[in-house]
Amino acid sequence: MASLISKLTQFAKSPQGQRAIRTATDKAQQFAKDPKNRAKIDQVRSKLQGGKGGGTAR
């Protein structure tokens, strides 16, 4: 398992890995900017945060 993590870390530090991370980040940002997708993201976030209350302080 440690070798898998070290290989992933090594890939992430490589130029190819940096490009892959940048591409994935750009795609995720474009996805999040779409209003329909944004509504889905907010809906899932509210479910994970404990229902309709959303970001209430505990």
* Per-position pLDDT tens, the chain of length 58: 779 999 999 999 999 999 999 999 999 999 989 999 999 989 999 999 986 654 555 4
From the CB of residue 20, how many other CB atoms can be counted at a distance below 10 Å? Answer: 13
The rounded radius of gyration (Å) of the Cα atoms in the chain is 17
pLDDT value of position 51:
62
H or E, element range at 13:
helix 2-13
Q: Tell the residue number behind the tokens 């959303």, with chain if given.
A: 54
CB 15 within 8 A of CB 22: no
Domain boundaries, the chain: 24-50
Put simply, whether the predicted model's pTM sits higher than 0.85 gets the answer: no
pLDDT value of position 17:
96
pLDDT value of position 58:
47
Q: Determine the Cα–Cα distance for residues 3 and 23; give it in Å rounded to an integer.
A: 25
Pull the structure tokens for residue 18.
């940096």
